Amino acid sequence: MVRKLKYHEQKLLKKVDFINWEVDNNIHEVKVLRKYHLNRREDYTIYNKLSRSVRELARKVTELDEKDPFRVQSTTRLLEKLYAMGLIPTRQGLQLCDTVSASSFCRRRLPTIVVKLRMAQNLKTAIVFIEQGHIRVGPEVVTDPAFLVTRNMEDFVTWVDSSKIKKHVMEYNEERDDFDLGV
């Protein structure tokens, strides 16, 4: 038996349409969540909002007069920032800003970079390595898989010195120095 619904519960149920539920129309979102192993749906929505605002900003800049010095300055600043973040491949034009999407941000996440650098075989193991504290970016150990890596920081993604995985990799490559890693 089911209890009778209270007044406020009935009011809430009137607002929800169970036939045309909005979550059913998010096939692209589910594909991106699975492809990049995003644990939190909020990350995807944040990336989507950021990409939408980048596209809107680029559209507003293109509406300015071509000879306006503010347009030239803002175009170069926007393209430089997006290129430094790694969201666009070149600094050629504002047309590239239309290609920025949530997937562009997902490709700059730390697990994706770790797989790209061949430090892990797939995204799932890369996420495990990051959460366990085996990866550092520069001098800092990063344990958040949602960490976005810029083009400049990409060169500084390495193993933590005390990592067992680093020891195994160096032993396999016959590069292990007993003095540096400790016996």
Q: Whole-prediction pTM value? A: 0.78
The domain locations on the chain are 23-105, 110-181
From first to last of its 183 residues, the chain has per-residue pLDDT tens of 678 888 888 887 777 666 655 555 578 888 999 999 998 889 999 999 999 999 999 999 999 998 999 999 999 999 999 999 999 999 988 899 999 999 999 999 999 999 999 999 999 999 999 999 999 999 999 999 999 999 999 999 999 988 888 888 888 878 777 665 554
The pLDDT, as a whole number, for residue 182 is 53
pLDDT score at 183? 46
- Contact indicator for 44, 36 with CB cutoff of 8 Å: no
Q: What is the pLDDT of residue 20?
A: 57
- DSSP state for residue 91 in the 8-state scheme: S
**pLDDT for res 162:** 85
The two three-digit tokens of residue 125, written as one number: 């193991």
Q: Are 112 and 106 in contact (CB under 8 A)?
A: yes
Question: What per-residue confidence (pLDDT) applies to 55?
Answer: 95
